[in-house]
Amino acid sequence: MASLQPVRGTHDLLFEDMRRHHAVIERAKGIAGLYGFEEVITPIFEFTEVFTRTIGETSDIVSKEMYAFERSGDQLCLRPEGTAGVCRAFVSNGLQQQVPFKAFYAGPMFRYERPQKGRQRQFHQIGVELIGADTPKADVEVLVLASHILDALGLKGQVTLELNTLGDTASRAAYRDRLVEFLTPYRNDLSDDSKVRLDKNPLRILDSKDEGDRRLIAEAPKMEESLNAESRAFFETVQAGLTAHGISYVVNPKLVRGLDYYCHTAFEFVTTALGAQGTVLAGGRYDGLIEAMGGPSTPGVGWAGGIERLALLLADVPGKARPIAVIPMGDAAEGEADAITGRLRRAGYAVDLAYSGNMKKRMKRANTVNARVAVILGEDELKQGAAAVRDLDSGEQVLVPLAALETDLARFR
């Protein structure tokens, strides 16, 4: 029999963790709505091809980390990220005539990698995709939205926006050629993964964490040296837009996206508060992604943020609502307590009604659940058609007619 423990790399979301989790989603969703982004939900599993075409078969995610399986002859996988699913939904639902298409999503993703603080095998993300707009203003909008959400989560001053440009297709191709030319003489000095990438996806070598690779990368040509005039103008417009919105940033020339459908803006919001897992939100422009999936040529830009990481940084932890404790004394009061509890809950009050116990035990439970007020129903109170309402913070107690309970308890909301 399997141990009654969660699978390694997964975790239960209970109580305060769940409140933090919801706070991230709800604040992000509310602010995204101000920018015209509507929530969408895509399936947790897709045809594997949705991701092999978009993420790339040579990427670590596809080659090492995806949870893939076969069912009735179909090759399926649990989604490792959200962008490909949203883009698939855009195409399969025939939304090409409804651009710009603005989507917000939140939900679980799955990758088989070494669990550590802020990184799990089942993790959760919020994200936005703005599809159908090729202007740098779209890049600015998703960046401003991301900054707005992070500020609303209380992270202002805790995160830094790192920004780079990958240029357009021509600039990227020119840079790829220069990078390959530089690295080829050092092929034998590269890590095994980077040797493969040199032939298939050389820009991803710039992402390498191998120390030997990083020493070589430090001397490599810079992307900015290969930018054409159009790409420079695009990036300058993005930077000017951020400045106009009062959003500070640093240009990081090593910040790249390795796949060919990425272009122009790439960015990450990073923090030093989570150790090695410093990126809390990242994204960029992916004008070639939908075409790579077999859809029409359609520009897009978006980002995703890790809910677990954001929740760890959350400044103000949402508190559990302090309930009203309804405390019946004696058999005659039990039925009235049930009726009052139902009325109060339907009126929008959080109510705790212990299932049994004497007055002492029920008051102890009221303290345990951090009740704000106790509604005590004894024989004397019932004869008067009233309840004793005790303020559990001050100790003050007053007699309140049962018919006026909802109105009187409003002062404790």
Going along the chain from its start, the domains and CATH numbers come out as: 16-168+228-313 (3.30.930.10), 324-412 (3.40.50.800)
Reduce the DSSP state of residue 147 to 3 states and report it. Answer: helix
Residue 93 has pLDDT above 90, yes or no: yes
Annotated binding site for L-histidine: 81-83, 111, 125, 129, 257, 261-262
Q: How far is CA 398 from CA 75, 341, 380, 387, 389, in A?
A: 67, 19, 14, 8, 5
Query: Span 134-150, mean pLDDT?
Result: 97
Q: Please enumerate, by residue number, every residue annotated as part of a binding site.
A: 81-83, 111, 125, 129, 257, 261-262
CB burial of residue 72 (10 Å; 0-12, 13-18, 19+): exposed
Nearest to 102 by CA among 363, 247, 273, 303: 303
Contacts 24+ apart (CB under 8 A), 172-181: 172/203, 172/226, 172/260, 172/263, 174/226, 174/228, 175/203, 175/221, 175/223, 175/225, 175/226, 176/202, 176/203, 178/221, 178/225, 178/226, 179/203, 179/205, 179/206, 179/220, 179/221
Average pLDDT over residues 155-180: 92
What is the rounded average pLDDT of the residues 272-289?
Answer: 86
| pLDDT of residue 115 exceeding 80 | no
Provide the pLDDT confidence category of residue 61 given band limits of 50, 70 and 90: low
Q: pLDDT at residue 2 above 70?
A: no
Judge whether residue 266 has pLDDT over 70: yes
Q: Give the pLDDT band (50/70/90) at residue 372.
A: very high
Kindly state the helix (H) or strand (E) to which residue 140 belongs, with its residue range.
helix 136-152
Q: How far apart are CA 376 and CA 392, in angstroms?
A: 12
What is the rounded average pLDDT for all residues in the chain? 90
Does residue 135 register a pLDDT over 80? yes
> What pLDDT is stored for residue 22 in this prediction?
95
Beta bridge mates, 310: none
- Three-class SS of residue 34? helix
Q: Is the pLDDT of residue 59 over 70?
A: no
Residue 309 pLDDT class (50, 70, 90 cuts) = very high
Q: Collapsing DSSP states into helix, strand and coil, what is residue 197?
A: helix
Q: What angle do CA 321, 399, 356 make, to 5 degrees?
A: 55
Residue 159: predicted pLDDT: 94
Is residue 276 predicted with pLDDT exceeding 70?
A: no
Rounded CA separation 149/146 (Å): 5
Q: What is the pLDDT of residue 250?
A: 96
pLDDT at residue 207 above 80?
Answer: no
User: Is the CB of residue 350 less than 8 Å from the CB of residue 322?
Assistant: yes
CA distance 263 to 34: 27
CB hemisphere CA count around 330 (13 angstroms): 9
What is the structure's pLDDT at 63?
57
Torsion of CA 367, 371, 375, 378, to 10 degrees: -20
What pLDDT does residue 274 have? 77
- How much is the average pLDDT of 271-277? 75
Question: C-alpha distances in angstroms, 359 versus 151, 212, 224, 339, 384?
Answer: 47, 71, 75, 19, 20
Backbone φ and ψ for 177, nearest 5 degrees, come out as -60, -45
pLDDT in tens, 316-350: 777 888 999 999 998 889 889 999 999 999 999 99
Q: pLDDT value at position 56? A: 60
In this prediction, residue 134 carries a pLDDT of 95
Is 295 exposed, middle or buried, given 0-12, 13-18 or 19+ CB atoms closer than 10 A?
middle
Can you give the pLDDT at residue 374?
95
Report whether 239 contacts 245 (CB < 8 A).
Answer: no
